[in-house]
């Protein structure tokens, strides 16, 4: 059975790159009828916080990524990690090292002076020092050959073993290090496939060697090329690397974000729109691109607009109310109003922000429109004739068309100022639909207020 895991450090909120990693791990497990697990790598006592644990769990829940077991907390497994580290020490796969910081600094300086890669030079590798409290344990990395694995996305990856040093697996304070703990936990959780960012490739080589020394089954690995900002640089918070729950607060739908995230480096023919249910059936790692993806706010907005317009007016009303408190049920034709605004909206927040003129009078005076004052009579005539027509969409559209023709006007000459009078905004939905939703009484009242001195 395929078993994947997502292993964040709860030292911050879940961001875009991590959310994509979690999503891909979840989809790969589900597409193969496997399990998806969560592990909090919370051994950094100073930076790991419960609020971040809760934030990550809420983010995954909002994204509809369900766990197949309770989360594993790495900090609760430290004793097991230490026990196995000493087991490797006893079997000769690790050794005690008493090098102090002064010795290590001198070692690095000499290497840099010789234009060598600074790393631990194996000074204590063969000295058979007996471990005492305050020493570190170092892993005996193979001196010859190469470390290699077949990446499910990037293909064969091999690095000469001489590029690695004997990295620490147990610190001087007795705490295990990341690469050792992660390898042990993957072994204990029976992880079959590790999916994570390509910044972990070096870690993978280290962990494979640890797992081999432990006599464990080596998982398959898939490294996702990173997500870059539109500029091509590393994502910053300004570019989109913000808390996933901030997207929720900003009025994005989880379905839209999921669809957007999966398309960051993954494709399936010419299709663009995917439900989570469909993705759990068709997702394959060999459809993941091996080059970096770029974050695009415009594309995310496009997806969110698509998903907003897949909702019924009742669903939209509920989501907007939950998100911002704006209640379209409080106004006449609220269902038509919210559906109209959704056509051009990128978020639930935008629908709420744009809706103000359905709830409050804009109170626009004609003189503030900066148009020819002679047009006042034209608008008075428009208003007079508007009183006489049936307020149905077809009737309104026909009347506007006939009025433009009778007065030899282009639509913007009437539409632009009328839109401002009705809404207080230059950019608003179509005039005929606005008039219909506002209704005859409100529409006439706003035009008359504008024309009154």
- What pLDDT score was predicted for residue 225? 95
CA dist., res. 203 & res. 187, Å (int): 15
pLDDT at 374: 79
**Cα separation of 335 and 248, whole Å?**
22
Residue-level pLDDT at 235: 75
Task: Annotate the chain with three-state secondary structure.
Answer: CCEEEECCCCCCCCCHHHHHHHHHHHHHHHHCCCEEEEEECCCCCCCCCHHHHHHHHHHHHHCCCCCCCCCEEHHHHHHHHHHHHHHHHHHCCEEEECCCHHHHHHHHHHHHHCCCCCCCCCCCCCCCCCCCCCCEEEECCCCCCEEEEEECCCEEEEEEHHHCCCCEEECCCCCECHHHHHHHHHHHCCCCEEEEEHHHHHHHHHHHHHHHHCCCCCCEEEEECCEECCCCCECCHHHCCCCHHHHHHCCCCHHHHHHHHHCCCECCCCCCCCCHHHHHHHCCHHHECCCCEECCHHHHHHHHHHHHCCCCHHHHHHHHHHHHCCCHHHCCCHHHHHHHHHHCCCCHHHHHHHCHHHHCCCCCCHHHHCCCCCHHHHHHHHHHHHCCCCCCHHHHHHHHHHHHHHCCCCHHHHHHHHHHHHHCCCCCCCHHHHHHHHHHHHHHHHHHHHHCC
How far is C-alpha 268 from the chain's CA centre? 20
C-alpha distances (whole Å) from 253 to each of 110, 149, 301, 310, 361 are 56, 38, 10, 11, 30
pTM, whole model, 2 decimals? 0.92
What's the pLDDT score for residue 449?
Answer: 95
pLDDT confidence of residue 237: 56
CATH 3.40.50.620, the chain: domain bounds: 3-70+227-297, 74-224
Q: Is CATH 3.40.30.10 correct for 3-70+227-297?
A: no
pLDDT digits (tens, 9 = 90+) for 411-422: 999 999 999 999
For the chain, which residues score pLDDT lower than 70?
Answer: 236-241
Which phi and psi angles does 6 have, rounded to 5°?
Answer: -120, 130
- The pLDDT assigned to 240 comes to 60
Q: Residues spanned by CATH 1.10.10.350 within the chain?
A: 366-451
| Residue 104 near residue 165 (C-beta atoms within 8 A) | no
74-224 has which fold?
Answer: Rossmann fold (3.40.50)
CATH architecture of 366-451: Orthogonal Bundle (1.10)
Q: Radius of gyration (Cα) for the chain, nearest Å?
A: 31
Q: What percent of the chain has pLDDT over 90?
A: 92
Residues 164-204 pLDDT 10s? 999 999 999 999 999 999 999 999 999 999 999 999 999 99
């Amino acid at each position: 059975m395929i078993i994947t895991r997502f292993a964040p450090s709860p030292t911050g909120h879940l961001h875009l790159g991590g959310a994509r990693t979690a999503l891909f791990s979840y989809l790969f497990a589900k597409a193969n009828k496997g399990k998806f697990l969560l592990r909090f790598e919370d051994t950094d006592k100073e930076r790991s916080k419960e609020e971040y644990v809760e934030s990550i769990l809420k983010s995954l829940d909002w994204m509809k990524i369900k766990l197949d077991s309770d989360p594993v907390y790495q900090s609760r497994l430290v004793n097991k990690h230490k026990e196995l580290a000493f087991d490797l020490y006893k079997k000769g796969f690790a050794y005690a090292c008493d090098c102090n910081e002064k010795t290590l600094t001198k070692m690095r300086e000499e290497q840099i002076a010789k234009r060598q890669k600074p790393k631990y030079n194996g000074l204590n590798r063969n000295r058979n020092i007996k471990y005492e409290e305050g020493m570190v344990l170092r892993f005996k990395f193979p001196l010859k050959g190469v470390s290699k694995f077949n990446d499910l996305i990037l293909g064969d990856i091999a690095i000469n073993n001489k590029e690695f040093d004997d990295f620490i697996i147990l610190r001087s304070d007795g705490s295990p290090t990341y690469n050792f703990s992660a390898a042990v936990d993957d072994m204990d959780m029976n992880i079959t496939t590790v999916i994570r960012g390509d910044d972990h490739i070096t870690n993978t080589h280290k962990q494979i060697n640890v797992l081999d020394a432990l006599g464990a089954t080596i998982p398959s690995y898939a490294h996702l090329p990173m997500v870059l900002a539109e500029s091509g640089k590393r994502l910053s918070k300004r570019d989109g690397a913000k808390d996933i729950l901030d997207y929720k607060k900003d009025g994005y739908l989880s379905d839209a974000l999921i669809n957007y995230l999966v398309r960051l480096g993954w494709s399936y023919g010419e299709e663009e729109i995917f439900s989570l249910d469909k993705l759990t059936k068709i997702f394959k790692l060999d459809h993941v691109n091996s080059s970096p993806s770029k974050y695009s706010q415009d594309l995310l907005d496009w997806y969110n607009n698509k998903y907003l317009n897949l909702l019924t007016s009742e669903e939209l009303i509920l989501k907007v109310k939950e998100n911002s408190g704006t209640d379209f049920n409080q106004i006449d034709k609220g269902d038509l109003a919210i559906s109209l605004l959704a056509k051009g909206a990128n978020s639930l927040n935008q629908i709420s922000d744009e809706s103000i003129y359905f709830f409050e009078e804009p109170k626009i005076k004609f003189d503030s429109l900066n148009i020819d004052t002679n047009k006042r009579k034209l608008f008075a005539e428009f208003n007079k004739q508007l009183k006489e027509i049936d307020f149905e969409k077809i009737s309104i559209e026909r009347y506007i068309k006939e009025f433009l023709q009778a007065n030899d006007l282009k639509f913007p000459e009437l539409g632009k100022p009328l839109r401002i009078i009705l809404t207080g905004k230059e950019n608003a939905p179509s005039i005929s639909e606005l008039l219909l939703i506002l209704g005859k009484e409100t529409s006439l009242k706003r035009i008359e207020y504008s024309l009154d001195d």
